[in-house]
Amino acid sequence: MALKAKLKIVLQANDIVVAESEDPVLWQRVLVSINSPESGIQIPDADSTGSGLPSFDSTSDTSGSAVDVFAKQLDIDKKVLAGACSPSETKPFIYLDNHHWEALKKNTPERGLSAINGTTLAATLLVFWKSAAKLGDTMLKEAAGVLGTIDVASKNPSRSVKNCQWLQIRNGVVVLNPAEISKAIIVARAYCLKIPPEKG
């Protein structure tokens, strides 16, 4: 008597299950994609909200430089990205620009749910950049180094990240919340483009 196997796709962030699916079409596409990376088959984006924003994929398009990948993740020109962040492969990895920071502060409230503090911005940019450049995990303490590039103090960094909808801390490592990646992209773009986040 033949046994029928029930296959399931499980998405995990470290040891935490973020999503799972028993859809046979999805697992077949994932299996083909894993075994044939040049097959051209694309798995549907995790962010299928139709927002028009680019979706974040840490394994996406490794052709070109890490800065090209980073710029593509945020859907902005790499010259604009370089001017706003000056991404580097050595610490502190991101060099903020005072003019971009001041524009973000003018375009967002000082307090409340829509407020964006320095730690949140620094950690968000670090996660995107370190993933694009394959520089390893983003540690919470690294955000203070980024803020130091514009002489801004990092106040209550742990609380800042815990209160942020699109960031999470896992064993001291800062990661993006898979369900809120579009918000992280909006904030990073708003900083780089000097626009209000709602226009991101």
What is the C-alpha end-to-end distance of the chain, expressed in Å? 57
With beta carbons less than 8 A apart as the criterion, state whether 100 and 191 touch.
yes
Mean of the pLDDT values across residues 119-145?
A: 96
pLDDT bracket for residue 17 (50, 70, 90): low
The pTM of this model reads 0.70
With beta carbons less than 8 A apart as the criterion, state whether 145 and 151 touch.
no
Within 10 angstroms of residue 177's Cβ, the number of other Cβ atoms is 15
With beta carbons less than 8 A apart as the criterion, state whether 147 and 118 touch.
yes
DSSP helix/strand/coil, 176: strand
CA 2, CA 45: separation in Å to the nearest integer?
35
Mean of the pLDDT values across residues 131-142?
A: 95
